[in-house]
Amino acid sequence: MFSGSLKSIKNVSLPSSKIYTIYDLAVFRKETQIPNYISARHKRIIDKKTKEILQNVDGIIAISSTTKNDILQFYDFPENKIRVIPLAQNQILDSSKKEIDLKSHKLEKNGYLLFVGQISIRKNILNLLKAFSLSGLHNDLKLVLAGMEGRGIEKIKEAVLESGLQEQVELLNYIPDETLPSLYENSSGFVFPTYYEGFGIPILEAMINRTPVMIGNIGAAPETAGGFGTEVSPFSVNEKSEGLKQLLETPKEQIESAFNYASKFNWQNNATETQKFYEKTLNRAE
């Protein structure tokens, strides 16, 4: 048995059963394209490699039903050889949790909206900044962007300055896992209106820390949120602006239901389902 993703499978002619994990095919979704972000040549390379691999694998793991549907749309592959196995939230044990020093980051409890993920233009940060400014919430709340800096970070920093929100937008870069729950818990809401997600682990992380969420309404984000998030169009600044206000009015009952829902996603279930699919694929190959 050989299991891997696009980057790890180097030799598709290995003499064993092979399973390929696909996280997303956002690169081929026209509605999510960012000008000049990925070249046509790079897309062709990804497409060629994926086709070659799919011709020689015995099964595919898709991390969401959204990704499965994209596979069936873009490639000719038997549906019965695809298994949807969701990812999980990275829940930190209580004994390992540490309180984040809000003061050192110029933050107050319930005094900020939170984004967690790569700080990149592909995560729709530029439109989020516009929506935050339009909403007027910057008069009472800060916007915290927590994550590693990615492509387009200079454009993002320029947009912060041009909007005059430099005192209301905090870039925290990488946050250790043990303090991340505290960052969620002390926020007024989690904002994740990205263009497209294959899954969206931060959505579950927010829910497991009883933080209301706002998400983009395309891709796998709505699937991952299970109907418990405020959904907005990634492309409409006005809709995101109103969504930010709606987020703050999320009923406590919905937050608690979201917590119970997110609790079902754990890595033990993921491992169990993965093992079952491995065994089924091996039995089919024999």
pLDDT of residue 6: 55
pLDDT of residue 282: 85
pLDDT of residue 89: 87
Residue 58 CA to residue 54 CA, distance in Å, equals 8
Per-residue pLDDT 10s for the chain (286 aa) are 445 555 555 544 555 788 999 999 999 987 677 777 788 899 999 999 999 999 989 999 999 999 999 999 999 999 999 999 999 988 665 656 789 899 999 999 999 999 999 999 999 999 999 999 999 999 999 999 999 999 999 999 999 999 999 999 999 988 888 999 999 999 999 999 999 999 999 999 999 999 999 999 999 999 999 999 999 999 999 999 999 999 999 999 999 999 999 999 999 999 999 999 999 988 876 6
Residue 105: what residue type? H
pLDDT of residue 22: 95
Sketch the domain layout of the chain as residue ranges: 2-88+266-285, 94-262
Beta bridge partners of 61: 21, 83
pLDDT of residue 44: 93
CA R_g for the chain: 20
What does the block give as tokens for 100? 């984040």
What does the block give as tokens for 172? 């925290």
The yes-or-no answer to whether 2-88+266-285 and 94-262 have a common fold is yes
- CATH, domain range 94-262: 3.40.50.2000
- For 80, residues 6+ apart whose C-beta sits below 8 A from its C-beta are none
CA 276 to mean position of chain CA atoms? 26
Residue 69 CA to residue 216 CA, distance in Å, equals 18
Q: Class assignment of domain 2-88+266-285?
A: alpha beta
pLDDT of residue 92: 67
